[in-house]
Amino acid sequence: MKKSIFTLALAAIASVSVAQTSTEFGYNLGFSSYLGDLQNKQYSYQNPGIATGVFVRENINSWMAFRGFFNYARVSGSDADSRVQGQIQRNLSFRTFIAEFGGQVEFSILPFDKFNPSNNRNKQYFNWAPYATIGLNVFHYNPKTLYKGEWVALQPLNTEGQNSSFNSNQPYKLTQAAVPIAFGLKYQPAKRITLAIEFGARKTFTDYLDDVSGSYADQTKLTSEKGYLAAELAYRTDELDGNQGTSPVANSRRGNSNNKDWYLINTFSFTYKLYSAKKAFSGR
C-alpha cells in the first residue's frame, strides 16, 4: 500500500513537472480593510491600510497555476466611524498588523499567456484573462488600541475576562488559519511581464481580529482578576462626554460571536516570467 502511494506521488510530481510552462516572481501593493464587530458593512473603504507582499506563481498550463505568497497588511476599525448610535456609544477601536503566508490555486477564465513559446500553435491564447483563486494561509496578528497616546496590546489583557473565575474561555491565539479567495484581471503587455489587479478576501476562523466577540464582564470582577487597564479598555463608553461613571451590565452583549471576522487585501501586482525549457501539455 505504501509503495502504491509513493508511486502515485511520484507520478503526480512528474506530471506537474512536465506540465510546467513558466514561473513568475511578483510584487504587489495595495490596500487592506476588515469586516467584523467594529466595521460591519459588507464591504467598506473606511480606515484603509497599506498592503504589500511578494509571491511566486507556477503556471501549470494556460488555465491553471499554483501560487505561494507572503503579505503584510494593516487593518483597523473604530466605533466612532459607525452610523449606528449603539456602536458609537460602545466607543471601541483597534489596529493590527497582519503577516500572512500560504498557497492558492489560480484558475484563468480564458487560456492565458499568448507569448509562451510552448503554446500549441493550433490553439488561441490571450494576453489578458479574468481569474479566480482559492487556498489556505496562516496569519499572525496582534490587536492594539490607542490609550492615552500609546498603543496597548489587547490580547494579554483578556478584556472579556478570559481564563478567569467567571469565564473559562482561553485567550484567543494570535496565529490563526484563514481561507484566501480572490478575483482579478491579469494582462500581459510583453513576453515576460504580467500586470494584474486583484480583489481578495480572507475568511478567518476567529472572531477576535478586533478583540471584540462576546459579552461584557462584570467590571468589578474584571478589575480584580485582570487589572484596572483590562476594565478600562473593555468598556470605553465612559470616555464620552456625559457618560462618566457609567459601566456596562455584566453579561450584556459586547460583540457578535456568531460572525467570524474577515480581512480584505486588494492589490495591483507586477510579475516577471521565466519560461521553462520543458514543453507544456499540448492542447492546454
Separation of alpha carbons 106 and 104, rounded Å = 6
Three-class SS state of 219: helix
Is 32 domain-assigned? yes
User: Residue 102: inside a domain, yes or no?
Assistant: yes
Residue 25 lies in a domain: yes
**Chain length of the chain:** 284
Q: What percent of the chain has pLDDT over 90?
A: 76
Residue 60 belongs to some domain of the structure = yes
pLDDT for 249: 92
**Single-letter amino acid code for the residue at 255:** G
C-beta atoms surrounding 1 within 10 Å: 5
For residue 102, the cross-strand partners are 69, 137
Q: What is the spatial distance between Cα 227 and Cα 220, in angstroms, rounded to a whole number?
A: 10
Q: Is there a domain that residue 232 lies in?
A: no
Q: Determine contact, residues 43/264, Cβ cutoff 8 Å.
A: yes
Instruction: Taking residues 84-96, report their average pLDDT.
Output: 91
Q: Domain for residue 4, yes or no? A: no
Q: How many separate domains does the chain show? A: 1
- State which residues form the domain around 72: 20-145+172-208+260-275
Alpha carbons 120 and 218: distance in angstroms, whole number: 70
Q: Which amino acid is at 15?
A: S
Top pLDDT among 280 and 128 is at 128
What's the pLDDT score for residue 284? 41
The secondary structure element, H or E, covering residue 30 is strand 22-35
Three-state DSSP state, 14: helix
Q: Is residue 226 part of a domain?
A: no
Residue 25 maps to which CATH number? 2.40.160.20
Share the mean pLDDT of the chain.
Answer: 89
Q: In this model, does residue 13 exceed pLDDT 60?
A: no
pLDDT score, position 235: 94
Of 214-223, 237-246, 263-272, minimum mean pLDDT range: 237-246
| Residue 74 near residue 66, CB atoms below 8 Å | no
* pLDDT band for position 5 (cuts 50, 70, 90): very low
Percent of the chain with pLDDT over 70: 88
Query: Which pLDDT band holds residue 43 (cuts at 50, 70, 90)?
Result: low
Distance of CA 237 to the CA centre of its chain: 30
Residue 283 lies in a domain: no
pTM of the model: 0.88
